[in-house]
């Protein structure tokens, strides 16, 4: 009889079995199970965080709280050869309405221009507001290629004037991130989203999804770092 630790090879000769460390195997299994369990909990936590953030983005956009403020800040959007896009026009109409209702005496328009453009978003906005009856003396301009730059450029001038309390005018899906950025640059914002945006209903869902991710990431890495990600304007 062969020793129990030997088995015949292909030519009938015994060869030794490779010893198996049962304790090491069980330990590895336990580690794997722990890692999988942790991954499951992390995935659930991320999902819950995104769902809560999505609700907050939606809920904030439903708020409309006009009140006496130092200035009305209009978040930039596209313009075409000096003519505001439908989305920007909706924001400017809202800002003009707030100005005519005497909630603030100053309107800060924001936005720079794309390569090849003649006008900045701020310039196109200023011209439009003047046509809506807002005097040029009551309009301030700030640049910026994204939301962070819009507000970080506007903030020092507003604070220097004593106008740190502002009404933020943008689309409903964009209010939460704009408010968060405004707070982070030293402003005290209040939501006054446009009520006539051309982006509404089902067409707004991708924008809400993008803003949910933007707000969720911005709270973790900082909105000043979020602007380095090109997807978030």
- 176-224 residue pLDDT tens: 999 999 999 999 999 999 999 999 999 999 999 999 999 999 999 999 8
Query: For residue 63, what are its two tokens?
Result: 């708020």
Nearest alpha carbon to residue 107 among 154, 62, 143, 171: 154
> pLDDT at residue 50 above 80?
yes
Neighbouring residues of 173: CB distance < 8 A, sequence distance ≥ 6: 57, 61, 199, 204, 207, 208, 211
Q: Which residue has the higher pLDDT, 33 or 171?
A: 171
Kindly provide the residue ranges of all beta strands, DSSP E only, lying in 17-74, ordered along the sequence: 71-74
pLDDT for 31 equals: 87
What is this structure's pTM? 0.84
Q: Where are the domains of the chain?
A: 61-226
pLDDT for 217 equals: 95
Query: For residue 68, what are its two tokens?
Result: 């006496």
Kindly provide the residue ranges of all beta strands, DSSP E only, lying in the chain, ordered along the sequence: 6-8, 14-16, 71-74, 79-80, 83-84, 107-110, 139-142, 165-169, 188-191
**Cβ-count burial 3-27 (b if 16+ within 10 Å, e if not):** eeeeeeeeeeeeeeeeeeeeeeeee
User: At 38, is the pLDDT very low, low, confident or very high (cuts 50, 70, 90)?
Assistant: very high
Torsion sign over Cα 66, 211, 215, 162: negative
Contact 147, 174 (CB under 8 A): yes
- pLDDT (tens digit, 9 = 90+) per residue, 64-108? 999 999 999 999 999 999 999 999 999 999 999 999 999 999 999
> pLDDT at residue 170 above 50?
yes
pLDDT for 17 equals: 54
pLDDT for 22 equals: 64
Q: Which residue has the higher pLDDT, 186 or 28?
A: 186
pLDDT for 1 equals: 47
Contact 123, 92 (CB under 8 A): no
pLDDT for 6 equals: 52
Q: In Å, how far are 64, 69, 150 from 177, measured between CA atoms?
A: 15, 20, 12
Architecture of the domain spanning 61-226: 3-Layer(aba) Sandwich (3.40)
pLDDT for 83 equals: 96
pLDDT for 216 equals: 96
pLDDT for 19 equals: 61
Tell me, rounded to whole angstroms, the distance of Cα 126 from its chain centroid. Answer: 25
- 193 half-sphere exposure, CB direction, 13 A CA radius: 24
pLDDT for 14 equals: 58
Q: Which residue has the higher pLDDT, 21 or 71?
A: 71
> pLDDT at residue 34 above 90?
no
- pLDDT (tens digit, 9 = 90+) per residue, 115-164? 889 999 999 999 999 999 999 999 999 999 999 999 999 999 999 999 99
């Amino acid at each position: 009889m062969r020793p129990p630790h030997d088995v015949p090879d292909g030519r009938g000769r015994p060869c030794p079995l490779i010893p198996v460390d049962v304790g090491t195997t069980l330990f590895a299994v336990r580690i794997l199970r722990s890692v999988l369990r942790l991954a499951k909990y992390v995935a659930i936590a991320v999902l819950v965080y995104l769902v809560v953030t999505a609700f907050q983005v939606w809920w904030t956009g439903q708020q409309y709280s006009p009140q006496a403020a130092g200035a009305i800040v209009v978040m930039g959007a596209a313009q075409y050869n000096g003519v505001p896009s439908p989305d920007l026009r909706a924001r400017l109409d809202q800002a003009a309405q707030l100005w005519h209702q005497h909630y603030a005496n100053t309107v800060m328009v924001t936005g720079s221009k794309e390569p090849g453009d003649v006008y900045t978003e701020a310039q196109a906005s200023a011209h439009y507001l003047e046509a809506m009856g807002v005097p040029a003396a009551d309009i301030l301009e700030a640049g910026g290629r994204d939301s962070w730059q819009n507000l970080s450029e506007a903030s020092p001038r507003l604070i220097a004037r004593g106008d740190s309390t502002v009404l933020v005018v943008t689309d409903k899906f964009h209010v939460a991130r704009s408010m968060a950025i405004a707070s982070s640059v030293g402003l005290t914002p209040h939501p006054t989203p446009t009520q006539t945006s051309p982006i509404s209903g089902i067409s707004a869902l991708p924008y809400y999804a993008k803003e949910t991710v933007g707000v969720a990431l911005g709270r973790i890495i900082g909105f000043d770092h979020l602007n380095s990600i090109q997807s978030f304007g």
